Amino acid sequence: MKNEHLIELAESARAIGALAEDEQTFTRAVKAFEAHDREAFRGALEQRRLRPHCQRICFWLCIWRCVRVVRLICQEVPTAPPTPAEIVELSKLLQPLRDNADLLKRLLDAMDRGDTQSLATIARDLKIQRFCFFVFLWICMLRCRKFCVTVCTGTRLEPEEDPLGEIRDWLDGLAAVARDEATLTKAFDAVRKQDVKGFRAVLQGVRVLRLCIILCRFFCYWNCFRLCFIVCREFPRVDIEIPQLREFALALTRLGRDEGALKRLNEAFVREDPGAWGTVIEELKLSRFCYYVCQWICYTRCELYCWIFCPPGCLTTFRYIGGYNILTGINAATGLTTDSRAFYESIRLNGILCKQHGGGPAEYRFEYMELPGGSWTAVPTDWIVRTVIGQWQSTVPAPPDDVKPYAVKGTAPNDMVAALTADGWVQVPQESNVNDAGGNFAPNGNLLILDTTKMASWPNIAITAHAGQSTTPPAEGEDKFFGLRLQVRRVGMPATEVTAGICANLAIYNTHYDDVIHKGSWAPQEVDNQLAVVMVDVEEIGTGCAKITNALTIKYTAAHPNLGAVSITMDGPGGPYPAALTDDAAATATDKFGTASVGVNVANLDKCAYLVKMSATILLTTGETVPTDVLDEVAFCK
């Protein structure tokens, strides 16, 4: 299956069904869950070798428990999901809960205990009876999720720093977004349409982006509440006890093994098609459990997509090429750096590298687009140069610490080698304990070193000109332009993939020049593979040995598509003498040629040897270094 959401559902369904195959173990697990007995719950799963699926099973049980609890609290069964206008109203009704810490604590304690009488009283006091199902099902799911994370990750049972914090964050965020119906609707529609940028923009606009994850879960829950009314038409009116819950679990086994049915069910859900949904549910004998199935599918989607909407803690980002910020240091119109340089040779793509993405191990790759009119394509692995992305360290078996570079395209045993797939995905190392033999990986921000010479064909250009002449034809060459972007996802899960930085336009030039004549007529040398064309000569020396008398005509040529400053000086008695360059009328900024004079009476120069030196700056960079100036020289005697 291409849809990772379906893969997650299938694995979850099979794990739930596997637990239900043994009636005694299933019953023991459910009772331990109801009693908040962490050890007993984990022990039951361990007996069936299902500990790796702990959260999947626990989250599924949360749906069952919370529906039961809410049915006992709320007298009015909802007949429709709340509208945006009603959520705005609800936000105002809940404000006393935000302002009264004692009331909020009483609510959460009652929810954790399943004290339905106290919860019903609080609902009346807040005047939210008609929102009772909606509010308390949401709060119950939040609390139950926290329980599951604690149970299944083995988190130590220590007092929470702020046990009310999660609900308070939700109330704060909801109050900000629900100040007006239009803003609330934008946020809801963005989650419903899986518009990550749109959702984050709404939160940024009301300055609650820091509450992204809790608000995403709320809006996704609201959408689930809406969708489950559409496909199932009503809220459950009868509790299901443990024997019926086991029937439900066993029926999910059939769903987990039937890829086609699961796909059709998901498609009906996404299309909001109750007819198609009902057909599949009936085939699988899950009609009695319609609402639970819907909430389970939607909850699983929410868990996945909210990690994408709101990456936790650390967000892998492509931000620099060498030391140039791709947003502020490179001109998007020209592809050149802000100091007018094109890139060449190998460039270091860097920024922030995180171990996790979308709730699991991260992987990333770069993609390029040739401009104009190209399409995004994965950077081939043979364009990648060994890249040290961090350091690995372990104190085991004993200090002194063992430290090694962690490298993409590294070589063992001197390097720890990051996995690189054939299609260019770098799997971020996950080692995280320096006191374990596995060690710890500490990223350094490097993402990839890219050999730009392989991004296009850069044949050398043969030069036929001499100093003082234009290099064209042939042309001196042109920059080529590319886009670069970083894609990040959870390992092997395309649905979690996001773009994490784009350089929209990057100028690159790697062409060299052959048959360039250096040292003029004095000691002519034809040299190849030159970074730029730089040639100087003195007209009066003829074929090389003639002495000058009272005239000195310096001829020069400098050519490169990224040509910088060009200068000529003359060394000798009384010097150095700076030369004034006069470009030919046909010269251009990238093909400079003409004559230069030193501004002295040549007849008055001492009879001696002189050296004319030419220098040209070439505006290229790797992002960190620039090439040395390209030089030429010619000697003469007077």
Per-residue pLDDT tens digits for 311-326: 767 889 999 999 999 9
Residue range 19-74, pLDDT digits in tens:
999 999 999 999 999 998 989 999 999 999 898 888 889 999 999 999 988 888 88
Note whether 252 and 132 are same-domain residues: yes
**pLDDT of the residue at 196:** 84
Least confident residue range of 20-29, 266-275, 487-496 = 487-496
Q: Tokens at residue 7, please? A: 């893969």
Q: Quick check: 170 pLDDT over 80?
A: yes
Query: Does one domain contain both 501 and 524?
Result: no
CB atoms within 10 A of CB 280: 22
At residue 155, the pLDDT reads: 47
Cα–Cα–Cα angle for 360, 361, 367, rounded to 5 degrees: 115
- What is the dihedral angle through the alpha carbons of 255, 261, 264, 265, rounded to the nearest 10 degrees? -30
What is the distance between the alpha carbons of residues 79 and 613, in angstroms, rounded to a whole number?
Answer: 89
Rounded to the nearest 10 degrees, the angle between the axes of helix 132-153 and helix 101-113 is 70
Percent of the chain with pLDDT over 90: 63
For residue 375, give the 3-state DSSP assignment.
coil
Q: Sheet containing 609-618: which strands, arranged edge to edge? A: 577-578, 563-571, 609-618, 630-637
Domain boundary among 261, 293, 309: 309
Domain around 607 = 513-637
Q: What is the pLDDT of residue 151?
A: 83
Q: Which of 298, 136, 132 is nearest to 226 (CA)?
A: 298
Residues 211 and 279 in one domain: yes
- The closest alpha carbon to 343, from 361, 355, 329, belongs to 329
Section 459-469 average pLDDT: 95
Domain count, the chain: 3
402 phi/psi in degrees, rounded to 5? -95, 120
Residue-wise burial string across 309-340, b where 16 or more C-beta atoms lie within 10 A, e elsewhere: bbbeeeebbbbbbbebebeebbeeeebbbeee
Name the nearest CA neighbour of 442 among 386, 393, 500, 491: 393
**Predicted confidence band of residue 195 (pLDDT cuts 50, 70, 90):** confident
Query: Rounded distance, CA 441 to CA 405, Å?
Result: 9
Q: Does 556 have pLDDT greater than 90?
A: yes
Q: Which of 246, 280, 309 is the last residue of a domain?
A: 309
pLDDT per position as a tens digit, 246-260: 999 999 988 888 888
> Of how many residues is the chain composed?
638
Residue 483's pLDDT band, with cuts at 50, 70 and 90, is very high
Cα separation, 533 vs 518, in Å, equals 10
CA distance linking residue 356 with residue 595, whole number of Å: 62
Q: Which pLDDT does position 5 carry in this prediction? A: 74
CA angle 88, 169, 118 (to 5 degrees): 80
Instruction: Of 89-98, 115-124, 317-326, give the range with the top mean pLDDT.
Output: 317-326
What CATH number corresponds to the domain at position 528? 2.60.40
- The verdict on whether omega for the bond into residue 473 sits within 30 degrees of 0, i.e. cis, is yes
**Whether residue 254 is found in the same domain as residue 326:** no
Rounded to whole angstroms, how far apart are CA atoms 464 and 471? 7
- C-alpha 366/C-alpha 431 separation (Å) is 23
- What are 177's two structure tokens? 């977004």
Please name which of 288, 274, 169, 179 lies closest in space to residue 228, comparing C-alpha atoms.
Answer: 274
CA atoms of 489 and 362, how far apart (whole Å): 6
Question: How sure is the predictor about 15, in pLDDT bands with cuts at 50, 70 and 90?
Answer: very high
What's the predicted TM-score (pTM) here?
0.63
Residue 119 token pair: 């919860």
Q: What is the pLDDT of residue 157?
A: 46
Task: State whether 385 and 525 are in the same domain.
Answer: no
CB 109 within 8 A of CB 101: no
Token code pair at residue 488: 């990040």
Within 10 Å of residue 49's Cβ, how many Cβ atoms? 9
**Strand 461-462 relative to strand 513-514: parallel, antiparallel, unpaired?**
parallel
Q: How many CA atoms lie within 13 A of 637 on its CB side?
A: 5
Q: What pLDDT does residue 495 have? A: 61
| Cα separation, 147 vs 149, whole angstroms | 6
Cα(166)–Cα(169) distance, integer angstroms: 5
pLDDT band at 579 (very low <50, low <70, confident <90, very high): very high
What's the mean per-residue pLDDT of the chain? 90
pLDDT digits (tens, 9 = 90+) for 202-261: 998 999 988 998 999 999 999 999 999 899 988 877 788 999 999 999 999 888 888 888
State CA 343 to chain mean position distance: 23
Does 341 lie in the same domain as 247?
A: no
CA 51 to chain CA centroid, Å, is 31
**pLDDT above 90 (res 586):** yes
Q: How confident is the model at residue 2 (pLDDT cuts 50, 70, 90)?
A: very low
The number of C-alpha atoms within 13 Å of 322 and in the hemisphere containing its C-beta is: 18
What CA–CA distance (Å, rounded) separates 261 from 561?
61
Claim to verify: residue 549 and residue 494 sit in the same structural domain = no
Give residue 489's pLDDT: 87
pLDDT, residue 145, reads 87
pLDDT > 50? residue 1? no
Q: How far apart are the first and last CA of the chain?
A: 84
pLDDT of 421? 95
Are 18 and 57 spatial neighbours (Cβ–Cβ below 8 Å)? Answer: no
Answer yes or no: do 529 and 558 share one domain. yes
Residues 415 and 305 in one domain: no
Helix (H, G, I), strand (E, B) or coil at 479: coil
Mean pLDDT of 423-447: 92
Q: CB neighbours of 123 closer than 8 A, spacing ≥ 6?
A: 73, 74, 129, 132, 135, 136
pLDDT the model gives residue 156 = 47
Taking the C-alpha atoms of residue 426 and residue 605, their distance in angstroms, rounded to an integer, is 66
In angstroms, the CA 212 to CA 260 distance is: 34
CA proximity to 480, closest of 355, 589, 633, 374: 374
Q: Which among 279, 309, 339 is the end of a domain?
A: 309
If asked whether residues 547 and 632 sit together in one domain, one would say yes
Q: What phi and psi, each to the nearest 5 degrees, are found at residue 134?
A: -60, -50
User: In three state form, how does the secondary structure of 534-567 look?
Assistant: EEEEEHHHCCCCCCCCCCCCEEEEEECCCEEEEE
Residues 503 and 600 both lie in one domain:
no
Asked if 565 and 504 sit in the same domain, the reply is no
